[in-house]
Amino acid sequence: MDKKTAEIILDLNQFETPLEAYENQLFKLRNYIFLNPVVPKVLYAKLKKNDQLKEAIQHFMSPVNQFSSFTLNPLQGEHLFDKFIIYEENKSLIKRNLSVFLSSKNIDFGIHQLILNLLMWTEEIKDIDTENAADIPVTKELDVLKMYQMLKEIKENSSTVMNSELLSEFKRAQTLSKTIRS
């Protein structure tokens, strides 16, 4: 990448310093991660964007690249509800840690952790038959509270019957898992 391309990627003409431009681009990237469902294909594209930003800023300076390192909690429990709680706690942990440092390394680590967490979740639901469930767009994640209530009700009633909305969400997650690179 040449310096002119770096200026364009950073949108440098909108800012007083390269660092301000870089941080603004990282902020946009991090906000996208906060506000959107985990879709590996999209997150891989965001990783490429993050790499471009990292390369672009190197033409002007070497920013501090701090990051938060942590380990995801394994999805354990007797019931799918219990595992769902840990899955959501992991997502919160990831997003909380993304807030600690605004750096390309922290964003890179956070994206990889989100994908790993999704992979762990889909491993828990892989044997659920979703063949007859309705297809929903991979970007339309079921509301967390609604899913929580549905899974809690199934656990409390010792039922194995799942409604169509829940099955469609599982099918969406199973579809996403097929796009995860090893």
**Domain residue limits, the chain:** 3-177
CB neighbourhood size of 77 (10 A): 14
Residues 6+ apart with CB under 8 A from 32: 46
pTM for this predicted structure: 0.92
Phi/psi zone of residue 77: left (φ > 0), alpha (ψ -120 to 50 degrees), beta?
A: left
pLDDT at 3: 94
The torsion angles phi and psi of 79, rounded to 5 degrees, stand at -125, 155
Rg (CA), the chain: 19
pLDDT at 182: 54
3 state DSSP class of 67: coil
Contact 81, 166 (CB under 8 A): no
The letter for the amino acid at 78 is E
d(CA 72, CA 83): 13
Low-confidence ranges of the chain (pLDDT < 70): 181-182
CA 61 to each of CA 3, 6, 95, 112: distance values in angstroms, whole numbers, following the listed order: 12, 12, 27, 26
